[in-house]
Amino acid sequence: MDRKKVPLNTITRDVKDLAAPTGNLYETVVILYKRANQIALAEKKELNKKLEDFKNDRDTMEEVFENREQIEISKFYERQPKPSLVAIEEFEEGELYYRMAGQDAPLGGPEKK
């Protein structure tokens, strides 16, 4: 997923169009929730890994405010699109695979040729 084409703020969407692939709005919401949660956890894990390099047991208040690299890393992640917006964009582009419980074949995702 190219995050450059994901909007940084919320846009209005027609719920009928959003629910069309699954046929049920509530199923679509669950799919989007689960994907957004996956994205958020992955980003949090990545951010924590990067910030772990700056961790020091003897941090003073002055050191916390002076660490520009740490601040820049945090600002980078703050400017990223929200996980829910990324999940919606992936869903609309057909990039998500999902299946209902008890079914073997995935329902969503890119068309196979």
pLDDT digits (tens, 9 = 90+) for 70-101: 888 888 888 888 999 999 989 988 888 888 77
pLDDT at 7: 74
Domain contains 109 = no
Domain contains 83 = yes
Provide the pLDDT confidence category of residue 35 given band limits of 50, 70 and 90: very high
Mean pLDDT of the chain: 81
Domain that holds residue 68: 3-92
The answer for residues whose C-beta is within 8 angstroms of residue 96's C-beta and 6 or more apart is 31, 35, 87, 90, 108, 109
Q: What percent of the chain has pLDDT over 70?
A: 76
Domain contains 108 = no
Domain contains 100 = no
Domain contains 53 = yes
Domain contains 101 = no
* Distance from C-alpha of 84 to C-alpha of 49, rounded to nearest angstrom: 22
Among candidate residues 24, 30, 26, 39, the one with its CA nearest the CA of residue 80: 39
* Distance from C-alpha of 40 to C-alpha of 43, rounded to nearest angstrom: 5
Domain contains 22 = yes
Provide the pLDDT confidence category of residue 37 given band limits of 50, 70 and 90: very high
Domain contains 103 = no
How many structural domains are present in the chain? 1
